[in-house]
Amino acid sequence: MLDLLVKNTLVVTSDDVFLGSVAVNNGKIAGILPTNTNEQADTIIDGKGCYLFPGIIDSHVHFNDPGFEWREDFSHATEAAAVGGVTTVVDMPLQNEPALTDRQIFEKKYKTVKEKALIDFAFWGGMVNFNLSKISELNDCGVVAFKTFLAPVSSDYTSLDYGRVREGLSIIKTFDGLAGFHCEDYGIVSYNEETAKKKGHVTRKDYLKARPVVAELVAVKTIIELSRESGTRVHICHVSHPQVAEAIKLAKYQGVRITAETCPHYLIFNEKDFLDNGMFFKCAPPLRSEEASLRLWDYVKDGTLDLVVSDHSPCADREKSESEGVFNAWGGISGVQAGLQIMFNEIVSKRNWSPTLISRIMAENPSKIFGMSGKKGALTLGFDADLVLVDPNAEWEITDKSLKYLNKSSAFIGCKGTGLPVCTILRGKVIVQDGVIKGKHGIGQLVRRNIC
């Protein structure tokens, strides 16, 4: 007798789609069976007409807990993620009080959030200008990567100069870890912002001007050279422009150990959305031209961009006020709940591409890159039974009421499409059914980096 059987569904692996059933025992995938299997189970879910994906791994989120719970907290954020088909997140070290920069803070954060978590979670460690001596102990704790800002950053965090980046990479190399970067050149962006503010140029257009593509390109190319020198694995966060993707593609071809991500907002929105609609579309790097957003898809399809992640970065509505100028408004877009439905609509419903692309860029690749191989990210025997059923015919519109975030404002409100997650399963347990939370907070477990 099985614990759970998802029957008669379109199973989507990273390279195939077929009619079948997935058997689950003790929280693990126990078999991929024919669609008409007679196996019995405690719980049987009929997946007729639906696609069954591995649970989504969103490896770039800012859940703001502990420290900034008026923006978001682990309870609301993991509910939203679960409704959106996400079964594992990797939470960023900043927008935490204090930022996650050593072992003590790691343990404190873990204790604070574990009772709230409805899905599994891992942590990015911080790499800032005062904690290079703590990098190895953070690795021992099980952080899955280290986050560094090259651009100015407006919080409790510090940016790193290239000298310290080089030192950090040499430390991370000793345990073959992963260094992730927010790539915008500090000198270009801070000079542009200071000059604009002095002149009183603080409109939406001035924000776009202050963060040009070349700032992203200069930073990415420098990281490529530093990785080439050290041999350390590097990951480029939120690529916003095809020129940047092209530089990464060339570096991959040359054997540099580099991976990269983009976000749904760079793929479906553009600078006009920001200029017309304002601060809920403010992010860094900023939204680019319509042509750029369309061309970015080529690099998702060809594998240059390994991942699509939300970079979920919520705030209170008052922090989006533009009254003190564009530079003072909070940057960041809330998207952890919307990622799968947006990508399914774009990839399968609109473009008629294979849904296998979703399994690759939103489950298998993040698992491999962030040290969860052998455990998560694929519909493979013995892996955690993290699953999500998507009804390809369900039509949706994102409204503030449909969002589970603490603060229900988001750039994605008003988006419409077809194809919606209808059942999310975490390690064999149904945690969301038809948008209704079935799981208990505290069920989520910490995922530590798999070092083997």
Residues that bind Zn ion (CB under 5 A): 311
> How many residues does this entry show for the chain?
452
The least distance separating Zn ion from the CB of residue 311, rounded to whole angstroms, comes to 4
The least distance separating Zn ion from the CB of residue 284, rounded to whole angstroms, comes to 9
The least distance separating Zn ion from the CB of residue 255, rounded to whole angstroms, comes to 28
Residue type, 252: K
Q: Residue 355 phi/psi, 5° resolution?
A: -65, -10
For residue 178, with 0-12 CB atoms within 10 Å meaning exposed, 13-18 middle and 19 or more buried, which class applies? buried
* Closest alpha carbon to 85 in 382, 291, 404, 338: 338
CB closer to Zn ion out of 84 and 332: 332
CB closer to Zn ion out of 206 and 311: 311
The least distance separating Zn ion from the CB of residue 62, rounded to whole angstroms, comes to 6
Contact call for residues 413 and 370 (beta carbons, < 8 A): no
CB closer to Zn ion out of 102 and 311: 311
- The verdict on whether omega for the bond into residue 366 sits within 30 degrees of 0, i.e. cis, is no
Contact call for residues 444 and 82 (beta carbons, < 8 A): no
CB closer to Zn ion out of 65 and 311: 311
The least distance separating Zn ion from the CB of residue 199, rounded to whole angstroms, comes to 29
Q: What b-and-e string marks burial along 37-60, b requiring 16 or more CB atoms within 10 Å of the CB?
A: beeebeeebebeebbbbbbbbbbb
CB closer to Zn ion out of 83 and 333: 333
Residue type, 154: S
Contact call for residues 237 and 311 (beta carbons, < 8 A): yes
The least distance separating Zn ion from the CB of residue 90, rounded to whole angstroms, comes to 11
CB closer to Zn ion out of 12 and 309: 309
The residues, any chain, with a CB within 8 Å of residue 273's CB and separated by 6 or more, are 281, 287, 411
The least distance separating Zn ion from the CB of residue 72, rounded to whole angstroms, comes to 13
Q: What is the DSSP string of 236-254?
A: E-----HHHHHHHHHHHHT
Break the chain down into helix, strand, coil percent, rounded to 5.
35, 25, 40
The least distance separating Zn ion from the CB of residue 404, rounded to whole angstroms, comes to 20
CB closer to Zn ion out of 63 and 396: 63
CB closer to Zn ion out of 6 and 179: 179
- The verdict on whether omega for the bond into residue 66 sits within 30 degrees of 0, i.e. cis, is yes
